[in-house]
Structure 1
Amino acid sequence: MKCDKKDLLLYAVTDRSWLGDGTLGSVVEKALKGGATFIQLREKELEYGKFLEVAKEIKSLCKNYHIPLIINDNVDIAVAVDADGVHVGQNDMEAGNVRELIGKNKILGVSAQTVEQAVLAEKRGADYLGVGAVFPTGSKADAEDVSSETLKEICKAVSIPVVAIGGISKDNVMELSGSGICGIAIISAIFAQIDIEKATSELKGLTEKMVTA
């Protein structure tokens, strides 16, 4: 499958920091029920076997809801579970190399903080860009801030869809109106909430307003 702009409206990035008594599968399903349109499985600490097991479970869930599943950073896992694609950062495997490994029919997302990085990522085969951090965030210690001006410039410089990430919540999502993005990527504003399904649904409604404002 290829990347459809509307699939990127509400892009949920997993994080097991707030699991509590729940499982990753149970919280992802709540986000899917609430209307998440895209799931990125992000696991920085799991060893390969456990990561593979989790990826298979999340793949099965996403398939049931007809929502694309992207694996963060790990091309081997993405290929092993036949995920819909891979997302890589600037310090991960180079986008062109990832494209060769996953083939032309899988989705490739690339993180970018500058217009130069964005243009290069598109040239090397990216299907969409994750741009941020657009607001201060606690989820990624190394996240660089991207100004609203840079975000707009990136959206104008590329023809592929752009998703904003970093510190986005229901309180500030409308500030991104008019930037040119087609959606938002969310971690804590979904997965750190007590009622994940409700939080996802509220954010989706606000994001729909924001992208058309």
Structure 2
Amino acid sequence: MKSVRDAMRLYAVTDRMWLNGRRLCEVVEEALKGGATMLQLREKELSSEEFLREAKEIKKVCEKYQVPFIINDNVEVAAACNADGVHVGQGDMDALQVRERIGSQKILGVSAQTVEQALLAEKMGADYLGVGAVFTTSTKSDADFVPYEELKAICQAVSIPVCAIGGIYKNNMMQLAGSGVDGVALVSAIFAADHIEAECRELRALSEKMTAARK
């Protein structure tokens, strides 16, 4: 299994909006084949039973490619499917509570928009931060915008890995160069692509280039 910092490079976050009749596990496998380094299953509409069923199926795909499998916001589902970790936002369960629930061996990711939030998340046991939205995004309409200078300040303030998220595509990813981020989390840039595997290869190469001189 990759280290958490290395796993930040191309972090795929699912969205069934782009399935177009395909099964989620199929498009996830394409992303992992193309070089996605981490996978977060985000489901806001499914029942707990459906979410768990989907999680167990996706976990098998992630195990096949030895990619960390993260559940968004649902500690119960994460525990039930033995996911590699959980990601929570500022409005979700307190990070310290999540850490107590999942134990020290699981990965804990926390969303942050300010240096203060980032430092608190690190203090509470977060293994990585998801910082954004660094660009405007249609995927999450309520996302707070995080300017480049704030992103850079967060990266300098914490010792844990930082992943940028929100409105990131091939045509703007290099604008994050020099910020200190360890990688990017992408939704539609991956799952809305016509050829997901090929798209992920390009995105992975671009992220490697962007993060090469991050510090």
TM-score, normalised by the number of residues in structure 2: 0.98
CA distance in 2, matches of 1:193, 1:158: 33
Quote the residue 1:82 is aligned against: 82
Counterpart mapping for 1:4-19 below 5 A:
4-19=4-19
Partner residue, 2:196? 196
Q: Distance in 2 between matches of 1:56 and 1:85?
A: 14
**SS of residue in 2 equivalent to 1:86:** strand
- Compared CA separation, residues 134 and 5, structure 1 to 2 (3 A): same
Instruction: Quote the offset at 1:4 in angstroms.
Output: 2.4
CA shift digits 1:31-55 (9 cap, x unpaired): 0010000000000000011111000
1:92 shift after superposition:
0.1
Superposed displacement of residue 2, structure 1: 8.6
Counterpart of 1:137?
137
Aligned-partner residue type, residue 92 of structure 2: D
Q: How does 1:138-157 map to 2 (within 5 A)?
A: 138-157=138-157
Q: 2:127, 2:85 → 1: CA distance?
A: 10
- The whole-number CA distance in structure 2 between the counterparts of 1:143 and 1:30 is 27
- Following the alignment from structure 1 to structure 2, what is the Cα–Cα distance between the partners of residues 116 and 3? 25
Give the aligned partner of residue 185 of structure 2. 185
Deviation at 1:3, TM superposition (A): 4.8
Q: Which amino acid aligns with 1:206?
A: L
Taking the aligned partners of 2:68 and 2:195, their CA distance within structure 1 comes to: 23
Distance in 2 (alpha carbons) for counterparts of 1:21 and 1:144: 31
Distance 2:29 2:181 in 1: 26
In the alignment, the residues of structure 1 paired with residue 204 and residue 41 of structure 2 have an alpha-carbon distance, to the nearest angstrom, of 19
> Could you tell me how far apart the structure 1 residues matched to 2:161 and 2:70 are?
16
Partner residue of 1:41?
Answer: 41
Residue in 2 that maps onto 1:205: 205
Give me the CA root mean square deviation.
1.0
Instruction: Work out whether residues 2 and 105 of structure 1, in 8 Å CA contact, stay in contact via their aligned partners in 2.
Output: no
Partner of 2:199, secondary structure, is helix
SS of equivalent residue, structure 2 residue 40: strand
Task: Tell me what 2:26 maps to.
Answer: 26
Shift of 1:21: 1.7
Query: In percent, how many aligned pairs have the same letter?
Result: 63
Name the residue aligned to 1:125: 125
Q: Distance in 2 between matches of 1:83 and 1:43?
A: 15
Task: Please show how residues 44-63 of structure 1 align to structure 2 within 5 Å.
Answer: 44-63=44-63
Q: Which amino acid aligns with 1:93?
A: M
Unaligned runs of 5+ in 2: none
Provide runs of 4+ in structure 1 moved above 4 Å. Answer: none
1:74-115: per-residue Cα shift (whole Å, max 9, x none)? 000000000000000000000000000000000000000000
Q: Is the 8 A contact 1:3 1:127 kept in 2?
A: no
Where does residue 92 of structure 1 map in the other structure? 92
CA displacement at 1:158 relative to structure 2? 0.4
Task: Give CA deviations for 1:133-172 in whole Å, capped at 9, x if unaligned.
Answer: 0001000010010000000000011000000000000000
Counterpart in 1 of 2:165?
165
TM-score (norm: length of structure 1): 0.98
Unaligned runs of 5+ in 1: none
SS of the residue 1:104 aligns to: coil
Alpha carbons 1:2, 1:107 under 8 Å: kept: no
